Amino acid sequence: MIAELSWLSATTALFFVYICGEIVAANIQYKPKDLLGPRDTLAAASLALGRAKRATANMIEAMCMFVPLVLVAVISERTNEWTQAGCMIFFLARLAFAPLYWFGVPVLRTLAFFAGVTGVVMIFLQVLPFSGA
């Protein structure tokens, strides 16, 4: 498997970790019987659960850009060292982003976010029709 698809697979596994973080936070806050029902009367999310939900939502948004770009790069055979590095940077940034968000670390979380954006931009620049890649 080429490196970009390996990074995509790893990022998908990481997304599962984000979801598990949200599940753990929900199970700490609510009783199992509350979570098994329709959840119509749940109390407002705690600080930890709110952060976990926002981190997961942010990961969904990030993957909406990352996944198609990786697939376009692979299908169009425009992969190179820049797309590999972009995938790696995106993954590592998102790996750091989750715990930084969960634990409310302000500046480093933002830096991790922008590192992930940098990785996406690196891939994007290689799949542009006029990039010369």
CATH number of the domain bearing residue 69: 1.20.120.550
Asked if the structure places residue 133 within a domain, the reply is: no
Is position 44 within any domain? yes
Indicate whether 132 belongs to any domain.
no
pLDDT tens profile 108-132: 999 999 999 999 999 999 998 766 5
The model's pTM:
0.92
Number of domains comprising the chain: 1
80-101 confidence digits (pLDDT tens): 999 999 999 999 999 999 999 9
Domain containing residue 58: 3-127
Is the residue at 101 inside a domain? yes
CA distance 122 to 15: 21
- As given in the structure block, the two tokens for residue 15 are 């997304």
Helix 47-75 crosses helix 3-29 at what angle (to 10 degrees)?
160
